[in-house]
Amino acid sequence: MRGYFAIGAERISKPMNFGAILRTGHAFGASFAFTVNAHPDAQEMNLADTAKSAAQLPLYQHDSVEALMLPVDCQLVGVELTDEAIDLPSFRHPAKAAYILGPEKGELSPLAIARCVHMVKIPTKFCVNLSVAAAIVMYDRVISIGGHPPRPIKSGGPPPDENWRPARLR
């Protein structure tokens, strides 16, 4: 897979969610993780991060949206359940992206939304858990640009084509 991605949250407060986001980001190959104005309690994420991802994945902690620094050409993608956001299954992920989710009890701040190049939403009836939402976004990214063969048209589909190879290995 070309490019990179990061996963982060604004005003996160639950250590179990933060630990799950770090562990899942590590598992899906995130290049780094970040927080914006995180509650001090969220830093106690070790209970949920049994893979000790915090030692493997760079973590950047920012005090405010204004202080958030991203690599050159990295696009900030907000994840929020709003009418204006693009449904995640219809979204083409940027090669260089940092995904930011809002807090457990609230939404992304207007300042964070203003910094986002794109806004996406998971097409659900209501909000899902913060760490679940982060996992869904990362899974969608990996599936959509990760070099996997196209899904079969019918259920189950035919056996895999032995000649298929990801573009990067052709």
- Would you state the torsion angle of the CA atoms of residues 122, 126, 132, 138, taken in this order, to the nearest 10 degrees? 10
**Tokens 């190049």, residue?**
117
Interhelix angle 15-28/130-145, nearest 10 degrees: 10
Cα gap 51→56, rounded to integer Å: 9
**Are residues 127 and 102 in contact, defined by beta-carbon separation less than 8 angstroms?**
no
Which residue in 124, 114, 129, 132 sits closest to 76, CA to CA?
Answer: 114
Q: What tens-digit pLDDT sequence spans the chain (170 residues)?
A: 579 999 999 999 888 888 889 999 999 999 999 999 887 766 665 555 666 777 788 989 999 999 999 999 999 999 999 889 999 999 999 999 999 999 988 999 999 999 999 999 999 988 899 999 999 999 999 999 877 777 777 777 656 666 655 555 44
Alpha-carbon Rg of the chain, whole angstroms?
17
pLDDT for 140 equals: 95
C-alpha to C-alpha distance for 44 and 16, rounded to whole angstroms: 8
Token pair recorded at residue 3: 């490019």
Q: What angle do CA 129, 132, 137 make, to 5 degrees?
A: 125
What's the pTM? Answer: 0.86
Domains present along the chain, CATH in parentheses: 4-148 (3.40.1280.10)
